[in-house]
């Protein structure tokens, strides 16, 4: 199943003879459900691999990323992988394998929690397992007394990735807690910054990414590193400082440069699924800075956003879920919105050069931060309903929400997770186009993408209309 995701069939091969990852996924799930495999370690390895499967929004929840990630953790804890004393009687190879599986589940837990706003399931305070060492990757043949040394670069990559996942927990996962105060968030953000600095200083030279010295494993590590920086910035919007904005812009630009290098070297198709989350975070970060008053910076942001779309278009060939985000981003990044933002930036520059007399307006209105409201947006090609945050007033109509009746285009409805799953079919009056809704991307919340992904996780399975329903 995992190999078929990254397999590029030759052009002369008949498309009907190609076995899709979904076919392998169904077969693997059927074997698991039937209890065919009895070896506990083999079951854990299979569950960890099945958690990689991600084709659509429904694969986030039911029998998807969250399900297999949490199931693997529960099984590992029931087998005692989180306690080192349970494996002292085993051989060195078996001990190393159990540690590698446990720390793999740990990284999945942190990555899923960070990307989709899910709670953590592993508390290291309850674990007695030791950190991984290079010896844990050495395979021993007890009968022939032979050792099989791993690739040291692969070993260093995974050990460094574990450290980044620990920083995700400090700076992001705990910040997402509803109990965190603003002071706690500031403290944890500073703590995470110190950790990122220490990680960067101690990172092996072979895993330090530079555009002139590209490496696949170094690229994945530093893409994760810069994504953490962007997410720390987005969690502080709209109260982020100028230093935070500059740091986030540089980090988002670096993420795009890394993915372009992967694409140029034909390695993007072999990248893991979390590279999609990196693309989403970089897009949201750049979008949050489109209110700049510097025209040259605005052009640079627009160029980076277009490059982000190209990356997602390429990723969609390997990960179908990227197609949905690509359509959403293409709707957000349009020439009309860019022209309006550029016009405001040019007007601001003219005022600084000629003064307010040039525009005839001496009193410059203060920018007011509006409360976020939500509206639904239909992606026409994928027929997926997204909940979008927008700044502005919000009206409540409880009776209409309870009855789930379609709203007229001129009504403003507060969409909640309960109403988010309304079906939008062609010809249905509840299928409201963007213009009919009076929706404008100018007022869209900069963290729209992250919020949507969190909503996917909270509400369960998004309503996706198949072709039979459309006909």
DSSP-derived secondary structure for 60-128: GSTTSHHHHHHHHHHHHHHTTTT-GGGGTTS-HHHHHHHHHHHHHHHHHHHHHHHHH-PPP---GGG--
pLDDT tens per residue across span 443-458: 445 455 555 555 544 5
CB-based contact 250:257 (threshold 8 Å): no
Q: Which residue has the higher pLDDT, 437 or 180?
A: 180
Q: Where are the beta strands (DSSP E) in 136-238?
A: 139-141, 146-148
Nearest to 66 by CA among 52, 81, 45: 52
Q: Does residue 388 have a pLDDT over 70?
A: no
Best-predicted range by mean pLDDT (32-41, 135-144, 168-177): 32-41
DSSP-derived secondary structure for 158-169: HHHHHHHHHHHI
Enumerate the domain spans of the chain: 1-150, 369-470
Q: Does residue 390 have a pLDDT over 70?
A: no
Q: Which residue has the higher pLDDT, 215 or 386?
A: 215
Q: Which residue has the higher pLDDT, 125 or 394?
A: 125
Q: Which two tokens stand for residue 150?
A: 């791993």
Q: Which residue has the tokens 């007011």?
A: 368
Is the link from the previous residue into 296 a cis peptide, with omega within 30 of 0? no
Question: In which band, very low, low, confident or very high, does the pLDDT at 397 lie, cut at 50, 70 and 90?
Answer: very low
pLDDT (mean) for 351-363: 62
DSSP-derived secondary structure for 280-334: HHHHHHHHTTTT-S-HHHHHHHHHHHHHHHHHHHHHTTT-THHHHHHHHHHHHS-
Q: Does residue 113 have a pLDDT over 80?
A: yes
Q: How much is the pLDDT for 199? A: 95
Q: Which two tokens stand for residue 78?
A: 């029931």
The per-residue pLDDT of the chain, averaged, comes to 76
pLDDT (mean) for 327-343: 81
How far, in Å, CA of 67 to CA of 307, rounded?
33
Question: In which band, very low, low, confident or very high, does the pLDDT at 54 lie, cut at 50, 70 and 90?
Answer: confident
User: pLDDT above 70 covers what percent of the chain?
Assistant: 68
Nearest to 166 by CA among 215, 229, 111: 111
Q: How much is the pLDDT for 422? A: 33
DSSP-derived secondary structure for 438-456: T--GGGB-TTHHHHHHHHH
Q: Which two tokens stand for residue 453?
A: 């992904």
Q: How much is the pLDDT for 10? A: 64
Q: How much is the pLDDT for 408? A: 44
pLDDT tens per residue across span 301-311: 889 999 999 99
Q: Which two tokens stand for residue 217?
A: 């494993």
Crossing angle for the helix pair 242-264 and 274-287, to the nearest 10 degrees: 140
CB-based contact 457:66 (threshold 8 Å): yes
What SS3 class is residue 184?
A: helix
Q: Does residue 292 have a pLDDT over 90?
A: no
Q: Does residue 188 have a pLDDT over 90?
A: no
Q: Which residue has the tokens 């249905």?
A: 428
pLDDT (mean) for 18-31: 83
Question: In which band, very low, low, confident or very high, does the pLDDT at 160 lie, cut at 50, 70 and 90?
Answer: very high
Q: Does residue 200 have a pLDDT over 50?
A: yes
Give pTM, 2 decimals: 0.75
What SS3 class is residue 117?
A: coil
Q: How much is the pLDDT for 2? A: 75
pLDDT tens per residue across span 245-291: 889 999 999 999 999 999 999 999 899 888 999 999 999 999 888 87
How far, in Å, CA of 410 to CA of 412, rounded?
7
Q: Which residues, 6+ apart, have CB-to-CB distance to 448 below 8 Å?
A: 284, 287, 332, 388, 389
Q: Which residue has the higher pLDDT, 369 or 281?
A: 281
């Amino acid at each position: 199943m995992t190999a078929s995701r990254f397999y590029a069939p030759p052009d002369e091969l008949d498309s009907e003879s190609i076995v899709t990852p979904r076919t392998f996924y169904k077969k693997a799930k059927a074997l698991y459900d039937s209890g065919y495999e009895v070896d506990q370690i083999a079951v854990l390895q299979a569950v960890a691999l099945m958690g990689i499967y991600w084709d659509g929004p429904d694969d986030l929840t039911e029998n998807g990323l969250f399900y297999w990630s949490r199931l693997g953790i529960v099984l590992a804890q029931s087998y005692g992988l989180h306690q080192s004393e349970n494996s002292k009687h085993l051989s060195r190879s078996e001990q190393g394998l159990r540690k590698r599986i446990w720390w793999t589940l740990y990284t999945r837990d942190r990555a899923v929690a960070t990307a989709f706003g899910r709670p953590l399931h592993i508390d290291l305070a309850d674990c007695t397992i030791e950190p991984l060492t290079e010896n844990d990757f050495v395979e021993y043949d007890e009968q022939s007394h032979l050792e099989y040394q791993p690739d040291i670069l692969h070993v260093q990559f995974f050990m460094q990735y574990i450290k980044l996942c620990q920083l995700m927990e400090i700076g992001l996962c705990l910040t997402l807690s509803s109990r965190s105060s603003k002071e706690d968030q500031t403290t944890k953000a500073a703590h995470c910054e110190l950790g990122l600095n220490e990680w960067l200083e101690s990172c092996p030279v072979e895993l330090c990414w530079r555009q002139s010295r590209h490496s696949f494993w170094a690229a994945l590590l530093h893409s994760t590193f810069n994504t953490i920086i962007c997410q720390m910035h987005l969690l502080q919007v709209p109260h982020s400082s100028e230093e935070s904005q500059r740091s986030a812009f540089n980090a988002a630009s670096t993420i795009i440069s890394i993915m372009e290098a992967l694409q140029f070297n034909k390695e993007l198709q072999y990248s893991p699924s979390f590279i999609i989350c990196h693309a989403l975070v970089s897009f949201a970060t750049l979008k949050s800075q489109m209110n700049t008053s510097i025209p040259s910076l605005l052009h640079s942001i627009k160029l980076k956003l277009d490059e982000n779309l190209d990356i997602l278009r390429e990723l969609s060939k390997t990960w179908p879920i990227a197609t949905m985000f690509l359509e959403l981003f293409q709707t957000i990044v349009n020439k009309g919105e860019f022209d309006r933002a550029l016009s405001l930036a040019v007007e601001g520059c003219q005022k600084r050069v000629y003064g307010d007399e040039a525009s005839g307006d001496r009193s410059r209105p203060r920018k007011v931060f509006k409360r976020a409201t939500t509206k639904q947006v239909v992606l026409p090609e994928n027929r997926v309903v997204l909940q979008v945050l927008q700044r502005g007033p919000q009206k409540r109509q409880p009776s209409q929400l309870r009855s789930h009746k379609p709203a007229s285009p001129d009504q403003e409805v507060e969409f909640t997770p309960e109403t988010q799953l309304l079906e939008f079919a062609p010809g249905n009056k509840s299928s409201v186009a963007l213009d009919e809704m009076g929706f404008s991307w100018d007022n869209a919340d900069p963290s729209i993408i992250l919020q949507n992904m969190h909503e996917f996780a909270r509400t369960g399975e998004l309503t996706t209309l198949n072709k039979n329903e459309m006909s």
